[in-house]
Copies of this chain bind each other. A is one copy, B any other.
Amino acid sequence: MALKAIKAGTRNDSGIVAAKELLAARFGERFQAGEAVRAQHTHTTTYIPAQLPDAVVFPESGAEVREIVKIASAHRVPLIPFGTGSSLEGHVNAPHGGISVDMMRMNRVLAVNAEDLDCTVEPGITREDLNTYLRDTGLFFPIDPGANASIGGMASTRASGTNAVRYGTMKENVLAVTAVAADGREISTGHRARKSSAGYDLTRLFVGAEGTLGIVTSITLRLQGIPEVISGGVCPFPTIADACNAVILTIQSGIPVARIELLDALQMKACNAYSNLNYEETPTLFVEFHGSAESVELQSRQFAEIASELGSTGFIWTTNPEERSRLWKARHNAYWAQKGLVPGAAILSTDVCVPISRLADCVAATQEDSAAHGLVAPIVGHAGDGNFHVGLLFDDKDPADVARAEAFVERLNARALSMDGTCTGEHGIGQGKMPFLKAELGDALDLMRQIKRALDPDNIFNPGKIFA
């Protein structure tokens, strides 16, 4: 984060006026420039102040996206792709002005290939809608970042979430995309084969590009069979280190755990208060196992043995769906529980990711840091990936508190980088993490810039993100 660093960029006012006229004429009511709709298109769960686009356009097909890109290219006007607005680092702000391209009307399922465990969708479909659509096929799309995000947004931020430990991130689960490039051509990065060695991996280049290289118009995804049985469990540990060591042993033993989430003591306290529960207020793992009844039973027993070795006495688990929901309720409501810790406070949700051997150290040092600075900062981690979130509660109206929050986030990122980690495991860079990317990747950032300039010479695609 660096609230102070995010300045408005230079605007190409004459180009924007020209593009607005052309788009208004072409798209009629599907082009809107009212303040409310513009504000909506920067209203996200981010802590970063909004920078409104000049207008919003609502395409309904790849062909329409091509028209929009051609107009924007001709007049050198920024285009900011928009999904559900659940990004966290200012990805949909318009620091140079320009046009927000709302992709949510492109929300069709184009194909489901059940035998191949894949489907092709438009970017505006949300993951929940996709899974509702898929239910009858016996398949599901596993990536679950928490929010009911659009698939396009998830691809563009390389999202992951709770079950990436088993199913991977968007990087592993996008087989191909189509995208409109700066010259207005719609290109396809691949086909439906499960693997390919055919040239540069353009698919992975678009996954995580945050809309800066083109506008994604369709996405081919890998799917999974809905597990026959799901078991869920909750397991308290004496210390963060014990919990993290249980995670390491679980992964090393090859137990295909589907979710393994770490909540620190403060987060457990928040959950108890918010959801009226009475869990121990100690570091706790929430786990989930997928498979046949026999396999889930086996995995749960193997995990129980590991937990017991690490000093846990209270592992409870179940395969009963209702009971499982009850057990996991605390985890599901974690964000709202955080907000309850300091009524009225703003919340800054940030993420870093470190090698799992360093997770305990990184979490413990972060707890010490927040304690030393009098900050309220509960922690929830995707422990199997070494990825954790801090939900820092602060007063966004008080400049001193904002400055303390900023300084905390700076220290958090420096800490993760010093442990051979990354400044973001799943939220992306957007505007908020730009200052840390250089620290993380050094000269490699220049290669990214070279690629950006090569594919988007006029910098029309989501300018002012990833690198200023």
Contact = CB atoms under 8 A, between A and B. Distances in A.
28 contacts: A117-B251, A138-B252, A158-B195, A168-B172, A187-B441, A187-B446, A187-B447, A188-B441, A191-B417, A193-B354, A195-B353, A195-B387, A195-B426, A196-B353, A196-B425, A197-B425, A197-B429, A198-B422, A198-B429, A200-B205, A201-B201, A202-B448, A204-B204, A227-B254, A254-B291, A450-B455, A451-B451, A451-B454
A302 interface: yes
Contacts of A209: 200
Interface residues of A, number: 94
A313 interface: no
A378 B207 CA distance: 38
A295 B297 CA distance: 11
A113 interface: yes
B422 A117 contact: no
Contacts of A193: 353-355, 385-387, 416, 420-422, 425
Contacts of A441: 187-190, 198-199
A453 B421 CA distance: 31
Contacts of A467: 199
A169 B175 CA distance: 13
Contacts of A443: 181, 185, 187
A56 interface: no
Contacts of A181: 443, 447
A115 to B, nearest CB: 4
A344 to B, nearest CB: 30
A186 B441 CA distance: 11
Interface string A374-388: 000000000001110
A196 B292 CA distance: 31
Contacts of A188: 441-442, 444
Contacts of A115: 248, 252, 355-357
B444 A187 contact: yes
B116 A357 contact: yes
Nearest to A253: B225
Contact of A197 (B157, B194, B386): B157
A302 B195 CA distance: 26
Contacts of A442: 187-188
Interface of A: 113, 115-118, 138, 157-160, 164, 168-169, 171-172, 181, 185, 187-202, 204-205, 207-209, 213, 224-225, 227, 248, 251-254, 256, 290-292, 294-295, 298, 302, 353-357, 385-387, 416-417, 420-429, 433, 437, 440-448, 450-455, 466-467
A191 B254 CA distance: 23
Nearest to A457: B450
Given A191-B421, A295-B295, 18 more contacts: A113-B357, A116-B356, A118-B355, A158-B195, A181-B443, A187-B442, A192-B420, A193-B386, A194-B385, A196-B353, A196-B425, A198-B440, A199-B437, A202-B448, A225-B254, A254-B290, A295-B298, A451-B455
A447 B437 contact: no
Contacts of A202: 444, 447-448
Given A187-B443, A204-B204, A442-B188, A195 B451 contact: no
B426 A197 contact: yes
A164 B426 CA distance: 25
B254 A224 contact: yes
A191 B420 contact: yes
Contacts of A225: 252-254
Nearest to A171: B201
A197 B355 contact: no
A113 B357 CA distance: 9
A191 B427 CA distance: 17
Contacts of A423: 198
Contacts of A302: 292
Contacts of A207: 201
Chain B CB within 10 Å — which of A187, A426, A452, A467 has the most?
A187
B194 A451 contact: no
